[in-house]
Amino acid sequence: MAQTKQPGLVAILSSPSGTGKTTICHMLMKKHPEYKFSISATTRPNRGKERDGVDYYFVSDERFDSMIQNNELAEWAYVFGHRYGTPFSEITNAIAADRVLLCDIDVQGGMTLKDKYRQAVTIFLIPPSLTELRRRLFHRRTDSSEQRKMRLETAVKELGYWHRYDYIVLNEDLKEATNEVDMIIAAERAKTIRRNERRFWESGQAGLLGL
């Protein structure tokens, strides 16, 4: 069966903390080696086994200021007392290589990035219930009780933004939610507006389509 090349895509996954967006991103990358996790720059210190340049780009406040001034960030925001931002280089490099860039970012960052990069697809993940969300948040060992309370309050506010996203996915069953996100990305890459260049088709196919 003839294979066609796939266009690059920026997929923005947002959700309240504890809804599983990071886990879903990693499951997708395990299934699709060509998918790439967008590495954010942050001013917060690393946690546990996190690695610079792999999990985040850990930078000083001075370096973050410089990135803003030099227009190196597609979006940035304060999240729980620290700054996070998406480097433009993450987007341009992924699109140039026809890869899917998975952006695991909060609602504020997701909306800003969508405004900057209109071709991105936005997916909002929701938990099955507020009770389940509270359970997940309060089982996080990396957070203090005050941080958990703050995350829960923020989560309730963020849930009100679901209608501003292109798609909404319920994460009650992790496997099912991952498959649904996978299908959304596949459908978006198949859209005619993304596949209207000759380079995505074999010569015979291109001729058939008048490209």
CB atoms within 10 A of CB 205: 13
**Alpha carbon separation from 94 to 37, 87, 110 (Å, rounded):** 10, 12, 17
**Is residue 4 one of the residues assigned to a domain?**
no
The CATH number that applies at residue 116 is: 3.40.50.300
Number of domains in the chain: 1
Among 22-26, 57-61, 98-102, 128-132, which stretch is predicted with the lowest mean pLDDT?
A: 128-132
**Is residue 34 one of the residues assigned to a domain?**
yes
Per-residue pLDDT tens digits for 182-191:
999 999 999 9
Percent of the chain with pLDDT over 90: 54
The stretch 58-86 carries a mean pLDDT of: 93
Which has more pLDDT, 120 or 78?
A: 120
**Is residue 84 one of the residues assigned to a domain?**
no
The stretch 130-150 carries a mean pLDDT of: 70
Asked whether 132 and 15 are in contact (CB, 8 A), the reply is no
**Is residue 65 one of the residues assigned to a domain?**
no
Per-residue pLDDT tens digits for 95-108:
999 999 999 988 88
What mean pLDDT, rounded, does the chain reach? 88
How long, in residues, is the chain? Answer: 211
Whether 44 shows a pLDDT value over 90: the answer reads yes
Per-residue pLDDT band for 1 (boundaries 50, 70, 90) equals very low
The stretch 22-45 carries a mean pLDDT of: 94
Whether 109 shows a pLDDT value over 50: the answer reads yes
Asked whether 113 and 12 are in contact (CB, 8 A), the reply is yes
Phi and psi, residue 63, nearest 5°: -65, -40
Among 32-36, 92-96, 104-108, 171-175, which stretch is predicted with the lowest mean pLDDT?
A: 104-108
**Is residue 148 one of the residues assigned to a domain?**
yes
Note down the domain range covering 179.
9-38+99-206
Cα distance between residue 178 and residue 201, in whole Å: 28
**Is residue 33 one of the residues assigned to a domain?**
yes
Q: What is the largest distance, in Å, between two alpha-carbon atoms of the chain?
A: 62
Per-residue pLDDT tens digits for 190-200:
999 899 888 88
**Is residue 109 one of the residues assigned to a domain?**
yes
The stretch 78-100 carries a mean pLDDT of: 92
Helix (H/G/I), strand (E/B), else coil: 17: coil
